[in-house]
Amino acid sequence: MLKRILIAIPALALLVSVIWLHGLYGKIVVALVGVLCVHEMMNAASAVARPMRAVGYAFAVLLYPAYEFVGGQTGMAILLTVSVMTVFAILVFSGRSVVDGLFTVLPLVYPGLLYASLLGIMCTPPVMQSRFLLLMAFGSTIVTDSFAYFGGRLFGKHKLAEALSPKKTVEGAICGTVFGAAAVLAFGATLQGTFGVFISPWIYLPLGLVLAVLAQVGDLSASSVKRRFGIKDFGYIMGPHGGAMDRLDSVLFVAPAVFAFYTIIIKQG
């Protein structure tokens, strides 16, 4: 356990630096981690197909410029559309297997499409609100995962999804959901004004419940993908913690909800 904590410290330090320093530095770091996530997913997909790596890397590298300079979600949608069309054009003229094409599109959507929401949060104009959203996205996943783990160790009796993750329990999931939602409520209700956000504090309760559930669905989804590809981890950059995808699997599902919360509730408020 101590070794795993020590290895996680550099990643936590990087996260803190992105939130604190923000700006171009933070955007570049987030964009580069996104490229790494797409790379790991293409490596995983290579167990069952030959993904078109050039298309995947081009999409990952261009995701931030498309978002920042071509109109946010519209720019991202254009990039995704062009990338998918490129995949099918290659299939037409190269004679490659349709399976290769499908497993090239997969990394564009997961993690690519989901990861774009993190870029959206980073590019939120009020920097303080962007920090608020980043803290909410990562904080909710950390609290949910931690309490799901310890709740399962202390009270776990009923398996949650044994075929995907044998150690996860229903009791752990309940603990993660309760404490994850409570953390979002406490953070949002008490500190929103510090970050220039002024909405009804009670909104954070249903938001917290949604984020806590999504964090666990994201974790289980990654486990499902890894089992189908026959791999233990997506990568090894963090030693026993796996790769970037292994650390961000929950955030990938939480970030779109947090960004939607900003777009629909905060921005329109």
Q: How confident is the model at residue 5 (pLDDT cuts 50, 70, 90)?
A: low
**Is it the case that residue 71 has pLDDT exceeding 90?**
no
- Residue 65: which domain range? 2-266
Phi, psi (deg, nearest 5) at residue 168 = -80, 140
Q: Is the pLDDT of residue 242 over 90?
A: no
Q: Which stretch of 89-103, 127-141, 235-249 has the lowest confidence by average pLDDT?
A: 235-249
Q: Sorting pLDDT into bands at 50, 70 and 90, what band is 6?
A: low
- pLDDT attached to residue 104: 97
Predicted pLDDT at 240: 73
Mean of pLDDT values over 117-144: 96
Q: Which residue has the higher pLDDT, 192 or 239?
A: 192
> What is the Cα gyration radius of the chain?
19
Name the 3-class secondary structure at 167: strand
* From 13-27, 52-66, 151-165, the region with the lowest mean pLDDT: 151-165
Query: Quick one: pLDDT band at residue 2, thresholds 50, 70, 90?
Result: low
Q: What number is the average pLDDT over the span 125-137?
A: 96
pLDDT of residue 4: 57
What's the mean per-residue pLDDT of the chain?
A: 94
Q: Does the structure show a pLDDT above 70 at 259?
A: yes
- pLDDT of res. 223: 94
- In terms of C-beta density within 10 A (0-12 exposed, 13-18 middle, 19 or more buried), how is residue 240 classed? exposed
CB of 147 closer than 8 Å to CB of 175: yes
Q: What is the pLDDT of residue 7?
A: 64
The alpha helices in the chain, defined as continuous H runs, are 2-21, 23-45, 53-69, 73-94, 98-107, 114-122, 127-155, 170-191, 204-229, 244-261
Q: How many domains does the chain have?
A: 1
Q: Which of 12-16, 62-66, 69-73, 235-239 has the lowest mean pLDDT?
A: 235-239
- Decide: residue 113, CB within 10 A, 0-12 exposed, 13-18 middle, 19+ buried: middle
